[in-house]
Amino acid sequence: MGDLYRFGISLDRELIEAFDRHIAAQQYKSRSEAIRDLIREELLQKTRSEGGTVAGAIVMTYDHHKRELVNRLLDIQHDFHDIIISTQHVHLDHGNCLEVIAVKGNAPEVDRLSTALKVLVGVKHLSLSVSSAD
């Protein structure tokens, strides 16, 4: 973190009371940390919408027995090799696999990879979580 900068904010009492209840429920220790997270989230959304660089993970489960699915998953990952940092594969049980794909790249490309995998028949669940890359 760089130098700390302090500033005051004027808010309606109802708004700050609702915010305080909300952040207390989330176990925030201070308003400052909660507001920092809100600002980071807002800036991340800006980065995503402007096609900037993000880092993240795709977490997916799929049916190991689905014909051609495993080959298709590998083909797609090779197509996106430039944004995939690593892939971890876990054999959950006899028929189900879990894969965690770490990615870093421009936001639309990361979204394209996520969507290309998500729509395949046999993929049971997929979630994409992204963070700022810097």
CA atoms within 13 A on the CB side of 76: 19
Tell me how many residues contact Ni ion (CB under 5 A): 2
x/- track of binding to Ni ion for residues 64-103 (CB under 5 A): ---------------------------x-----x------
Exposure string (b/e) for 24-54, b if CB count within 10 Å is 16 or more? eeeebeeeeebeeeeeeeeebeebbeeebeb
Task: Compare residues 55 and 102 and give the one whose CB is closer to Ni ion.
Answer: 102
Task: Compare residues 93 and 134 and give the one whose CB is closer to Ni ion.
Answer: 93
Task: Compare residues 53 and 96 and give the one whose CB is closer to Ni ion.
Answer: 96
CA atoms within 13 A on the CB side of 93: 2
Task: Compare residues 67 and 91 and give the one whose CB is closer to Ni ion.
Answer: 91
CA gap 52, 40 in Å, rounded: 14
- Residue 36 as a binder of Ni ion (CB under 5 A): the answer is no
Instruction: State the nearest-atom distance from the C-beta of 117 to Ni ion, in Å.
Output: 15
CA gap 71, 16 in Å, rounded: 53
The residues binding Ni ion (CB under 5 A) are 91, 97
